């Protein structure tokens, strides 16, 4: 698992998918902390409280699912932008997903992910600076 402060936490158990997305995010200027299991993601969230700009997580993961990861992340940071990615869990998003999250159906265009992340992070930063 890669650690970085003020990074996007990306959770994906498929190595080839993860490689492509991480490369795209890094090329777009994001620092990326990566986890391959739900357990790794929860440990990273606990260890690095308040350090992530956003969470991008697969839904179906070993040990702990993406829904649970996002719920715990939001307990620690209620405004954390969350993007879910799944090939088959889109219908569960309205019931399982955290409020104000985004669902991407796999496969998705990495460029769209980058633009969505930028928009969500800018929106969160703008509202935090309004106070």
pLDDT in tens, 12-55: 999 999 999 999 999 999 999 999 999 999 999 999 988 999 99
Average pLDDT, the chain: 90
Domains and CATH numbers, the chain: 7-125 (3.40.50.2300)
pLDDT tens column, 70-114: 999 999 999 999 999 998 877 889 899 999 999 999 999 999 999
Q: At what angle do helices 66-76 and 38-47 cross, to 10 degrees?
A: 10
Task: Write the secondary structure of 44-76 as one string of H (helix), E (strand) and C (coil).
Answer: HHHHCCCCEEEEEEECCCCCCCHHHHHHHHHHH
pTM to 2 decimals? 0.90
């Amino acid at each position: 698992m890669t650690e970085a402060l003020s990074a996007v936490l990306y959770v994906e158990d498929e190595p080839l998918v993860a490689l492509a997305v991480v490369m795209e995010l890094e090329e777009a200027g994001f620092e990326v902390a990566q986890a391959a299991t739900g357990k790794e993601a929860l440990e990273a969230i606990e260890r690095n409280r308040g350090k992530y700009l956003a969470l991008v997580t697969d839904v179906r993961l070993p040990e702990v699912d993406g829904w649970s990861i996002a719920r715990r992340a939001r307990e620690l940071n209620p405004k954390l932008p969350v993007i879910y990615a799944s090939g088959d869990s889109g219908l569960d998003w309205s019931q399982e997903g955290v409020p104000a999250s985004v669902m991407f159906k796999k496969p998705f265009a990495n460029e769209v992910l980058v633009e969505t992340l930028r928009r969500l992070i800018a929106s969160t930063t703008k509202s935090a600076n309004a106070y």
